[in-house]
Chains A and B, each alone.
Chain A
Amino acid sequence: MLTTVKCELKSFEDLARSFAAKELAANREENDRYPFGPFFDSVVTKAHEVGLLSATLPEECGGIGQDVGALCIILDHISAVDASLSGIIFTNALSQEIMLAAGNKDLLAGIMGKAADAKAALIACPSFANPSETGTTLTAVKVKDNYIINGAIEYVVLGGISGHALVPARIKGQEGYSFFLIDPADKGLNRSEPVFSLGLHSCPAVDLNMAGVVGTLIGQEGEGARYFDHAADRMHSAVAAMQCGIMKGSFNEALDYSQQRFQGGKEIINWSGLRMLLGQMAVQVKIAEMVLSEAAMAVENQEPQWNLYSRAASVHLSELACKLTTDGIQCLGGNGYMKDYGQEKRFRDAKHVQAFLGLAPMRKLGMIKSIVNG
């Protein structure tokens, strides 16, 4: 639907759709075995080569220079097949957005310019946490031109595979927090094995322990929350896009299966109870497409209250996706629960994606705070 509103996005739709079909569909089950199976390096490399990892990065930084709409189209179509790669694209884009909000274009251009491969171009961050909600246990002390960071931080997404990581830390003696760019290869940094998690298995996170890690300040001291909120407001529409894609994938799989599976002497689609379940899913998918399209355009056009549209889209589509993917398994019965089909993965991924950018209930409270405070 987004491509109907903005025709020039069609090429991104074609790119994402064909990439998902060619590179992701066949090995989805195998790729999902990570960390108990190999990581899909070659897929990430190809995604980097075709520009999926830098859609919203300005051209002067080495990106494609598109707005949120293109990112949403990409995430939507990739997530319909395998949301793990979407998690990587999303986290990297969130890091880039935070750095852009802080005015660090040069730093981003440097990272992209020097990156010899896809992993080197990736920037990790704790993309499931809103540091204002949960606080940060990392502390930073200024030493000459740099900062020295100490402490521990959990669940840094891509932290085990990226060339750089963006972490929130509190500068001693100051209120609020600041973002710092660190080198995951820093000698003072100790990282855990990939944290085995509910979904998005191939979008791994690690816990980091830091003792005297050198960090580069992003933007200004104490302004981390402002950068995060701005970036998160834009990226909420990307969360909505992932959920929209997961929903489409689950619905299509259920629709196909129900036309092939016989019970009670006929294809199960011809039992009206199941048809009603599919009907509800179809309604939810269409609503998701509409909501995503409106939210992405509101962000792109900076419409009044664009940030509220974006947040509402992420909250609403996350709830819809968690409900729909449960029914998506149900339509396949026992088969839906097995890893041979994609439904159980979509169910896990939808719940996982719902947790991006902080606690889901807090997002609703945040909406009211924004509305009341204007």
Chain B
Amino acid sequence: MITPKENKSLLEREPRFDDSYCSMQAIPKIPKSQLKETRILVSYARRFNDEVIRPLALKTDLKSFQDPEYLPWDLIQKVNEWGFYTLFIPKIFGGQGWAFTSLNYVIEELASACVGIANVVFVHYLGFVTMLGSWNISVINKVCREVKEGERTGNPCLISLAITEPGAGTDVEEVELVDRGRVTCFAEKVKGGYIVNGNKIFISMGHVSTWHALVAYTDLKKPSENTLMLAVKNGMKGFSFGKHEDKMGQRACPASELIFQDCFVPDENVLVDSRTVPPSQLRETGELVNQIIHYVVEASRPAVGAFGTGVARGAYEQALKFAGETAVDGKLLINHEWAQIMLAEMYKNVIAGRLAYCEANFSNSLKGGIFSFLQIKPVYYYMKYVPQAVIDIFIVPFYKTKLFNWFMRQVFVEGQSLEAQKRCSGWASIAKFMGTDMGMKNSQMAIEMMGQAGLRHEQGCEKILRDSKLLQIYEGTNQLNRLNLFNCLIARCIPQARVFEEE
């Protein structure tokens, strides 16, 4: 019917088949027991919602208004006890090693009960994934083992990501913008390490984390090629916390200021220095930094999409419950046809958000995606069934060897084609703005349906609206994510297209 050559050429036309049907390509390759894992994790998340999040969500929010200095230590302790901080850390780093691909489903569950508390749980994984993006296995292993130890001893050890600066929000998310931005976090090379000066702001969970994946720059005039990622630990001389922000919502999860004044960070804590990254056949230095950033956002943005989907679901569930209990104009609201249509629309919004983050998840499972290596069946089953002690004896000692690091680099740096990077990053952006826009839409609709009752704090719906808005802002504003989508998957259709170059 059609020759292979013709077939290839037709499928490479836009929309490219390989970029458009990620789930269809990924699902046959996924190990079967991963579905079982996801089922178990979703049910575990639902129990956590019932026993921890729902009883505490409104109380915690209220507490944060009564005491602006409130930090969620009580919650963190509970999350730690439930094992959430090591749940998705691979066994090779001492974690429980549950499939990372299940993360977003768990996020949606928790966010449907309280997205602020869901952030208390999962911002830690943003820090972890950022460290992972450096593929510096030795440092990641050191940090993750402390997280594990924190779980064992009952002294939670969390990881945060410190990237945003007072003068640079969107700019630090895009290599193409950062050289024109006003970044100030400067790292100067000295004997045995770096001296860091500068401030970071809006750092989620900053005050309550122990380790911080800090992005600094060794040359402020050309930060794109002089990016440094450091693992900074509390207590390092010259590192302190400033204020934490008075936010509209997600108040369970603090947004912190991190201050670095002549802070010495030893060489052994360098996650990656773009100037010393070995040359790549595919990418120049700036593009390698871009790849690291995109590895992080490929995982984090679908997760934010899942947060948004959870919020959309929480709002829908509140509205549904209210409609089933409240009489309007002499009959239950649920029996008004207009309300049924409105609820159906909200239900659809949840599904739309979920489909988008699922597809982004599947894109990440395809070749070149952040999950692809762990989804190779022999690797997956080895990680799943080989005892921790065996991994510690036979794999961990190799982390500092050149061969091991060369191998990781081949898999994750050279192994990711530019096309795969664009597919994953593009889908991540779609998932992010789709899910979070749905969250905002549903939280607005729920309050409209509930009227006066929806305004009251104890009903929970007004909190959902307040919480929801932040999702459209962090991990790149939804505007930036639209531009990233254009850059990754649309601009290639028109050779004259230029992004971020507007005069």
Contacts and interface: CB of A to CB of B under 8 A. Distances in A.
A joins B in a complex: yes
Interface of A: 36, 126, 128-129, 132-135, 154-155, 195-199, 262-266, 271-274, 277, 322, 326, 329-330, 333-334, 336-340, 344, 347-348, 351-352, 354-355, 358-362, 365
User: Lowest 3 A-B CB distances belong to which pairs?
Assistant: A265-B180, A198-B462, A128-B452
A272 B482 CA distance: 14
Contacts of B502: 271-272
B457 A195 contact: yes
B324 to A, nearest CB: 15
Contacts of B478: 330
Interface stretch (B138-146, B167-175, B310-318): B167-175
Given A362-B329, A365-B338, A337 B455 contact: no
11 contacts: A36-B65, A134-B328, A134-B451, A155-B455, A198-B465, A263-B181, A274-B479, A337-B247, A337-B249, A360-B451, A361-B342
Contacts of A198: 447, 454-455, 457, 462, 465-466
Given A198-B466, A326-B469, A333 B451 contact: no
B473 A336 contact: yes
A329 B255 CA distance: 17
B251 to A, nearest CB: 11
B451 A195 contact: no
Contact of B177 (A36, A133, A263, A360): A263
A365 B478 CA distance: 34
A348 B246 contact: no
Given A134-B327, A329-B469, A334-B164, 15 more contacts: A155-B452, A196-B457, A196-B458, A198-B457, A262-B181, A262-B182, A263-B170, A326-B472, A330-B472, A334-B201, A334-B255, A338-B248, A348-B466, A351-B462, A361-B338
B327 A135 contact: yes
B455 A264 contact: no
B125 interface: no
B181 A265 contact: yes
B66 A339 contact: no
Interface string B447-476: 111011111111000100110011011100
Nearest to B463: A198
A365 B339 CA distance: 12
Contacts of B473: 329-330, 333-334, 336-337
B332 interface: no
Given A326-B440, A326-B469, A329-B473, A339 B447 contact: no
B248 A344 contact: yes
Contacts of B245: 338
Contacts of B477: 330, 333
Contacts of A362: 328-329
Contacts of B329: 132-133, 362
Contacts of A344: 247-248, 469
B122 interface: no
A326 B479 CA distance: 13
